[in-house]
Structure 1
Amino acid sequence: MPQLGHSNAAYKNFSSISIDKKEANASWLKLPSIKTLPHPYVIIDKTQNPYLPVFIYEITPFDVSSGHSQIPKDLIIKLMSLSQNLQEIKINKQLLGGIKKGIGFHPGSDAGKSAGVYSRKAGLSPHQIELDNMQWTKLHKYEKFLYSRICHFSQLAAQENQSLMEAEKLLNFSQVEWTSANPKEEFKCFSNVIFTQDVFFNKPHQDLNDINAWTYGIFSFVSKKDFHPLPTVFTPSGHGFHFPKLKMEIDFSKKLGIMEILWKKSTMVHHTKKPPPEIINHDEITHFGCSFQINHKLFNVGDKF
């Protein structure tokens, strides 16, 4: 597995795209999609740091015979299912469209509370709450998978996140009670997961509320009916990740697989572009995105326990 952040030899199994200089009038670069992507791409900004990647991404086709693509499929379905009973995150100045929700721990918003988990919708029946609790208990089985995917991209990133979580006594996103914290948990790398749906798009921004740790994201088109990830190609381009300062974009509309990305998103300006009408008005398909991350506002809370 590659050791990123030490030498260029660390990227020998990756395809590398380097930024050697920045020009104000430079054209935008559309990053390679599924047909030209047999393995991860690492993006390096040599004007800042020639050894540490800006981000790494990979797209796994749905027709891969190995079992790898099945696990993120199952995780996407699980998160989409849980999202149906969660409140939307309304306090977000960057949000322009779509829905944003969260799972895991976040700074407290209720009077007298320092922290808590993202809230369920009000008015759920006892049966709905029971089913929701059962779904929550199954989240922990994905911890090993998430850890393995970070190590696939960078063992250094996994070590950095684990060290931050342990030092600040933060819980893994899958835990529901602060008192159940295990500071030495083997696969603990993220305190929460934020996910978006219903043609989400936002303003260019930096996620300054996230500590300078590594964030792992998963993105795919999904069925509105059963939440299963789908291979989808839309004729109009436009919906995707934009990195304005790098003048790079990843076009969601042209990929036939599940995209994974590892990055320090608090260090770079980024945003999701508004989808074209063909995607916005689609009756059967929506775009799902999620980011597993560490929220720096929880650090002060962790010291109290």
Structure 2
Amino acid sequence: MGSGRSGTTAAPAQRPAEQSAPVRETIAGSDSAGALSNAARAATTRADELLARNRPVEARDVLNRMLHDRNATSADRAEMRARLAQIAQDLTFSARVVPEDTTATMYTIASGDSLARIIARENFDTDFRMLQRLNNITDPARIRPGQRIKALKGPFHVVVHKGAFRLDLYADQTDSAGNRIFLRSFAVGIGELDSETPLGAFRVRQNSKLIDPRWVNPRTGEVFASKDPKNPIGNRWIGIEGIDTQTESLSGYGIHGTIEPQSIGARGSMGCIRMLQADVELIYDMLVPLKSTVLIVE
């Protein structure tokens, strides 16, 4: 069953999501097979040296600059993405904070704090559920004053490569050459040939992030209630809106889950971007309305 455009009518969920299991790595394969260039080999050698000396932030900088190098080959970039994802698993997606890392910080909980209040007051620009995920907080009502927790400094952004069926996640912070820091890739599904996923620049729409949304199939009118296990869009919806001349008139598109994992890596939606459930739950926790951008390219 295809799924995608609009039809989501549930109000934004206020309850915290259950703590998910660690998201499995879904790095897409190399765009093309081939040996690494001399520059890429030099970058990986230098990064390995830095990692051996416990300098992961500097290693990330070396690899990220190589990823964005205009002369990098497809094989080079695939290798850089894989290595950067390994570093991000430690620097970004664990409870660890490295002082030199500009993408994360430690926060000391004060009396009267809630996770949502911390996010809003400190302008961390993630969903409060990201604090739960990073710090293994199963019950946000039981945080205590003086408790030290990790927070990420968003906003975060994604680039969807339609031809590769790949979504790349980036931090807002940049490397020493001014390139946004790559974190990791996810495999996705996109629109069918008669319902193409549009190209262009978008951002997360205000009040558009939904958990367990009600969905109406725009083609058949079939209604799927909230929490319906047969709901084709799964348990997360992130609505997006166009922000350039190519996309500003478009509506009804978004990023969502799927109950058809076999559709990932293929064309099967009504134009939206499909993700595996664990993957879309992570993306949901990281993207924020009006600040997180979604760039869709060939």
TM-score above 0.5, yes or no: no
TM range (shorter): under 0.3
**TM superposition score normalised by structure 2:** 0.26
**TM superposition score normalised by structure 1:** 0.25
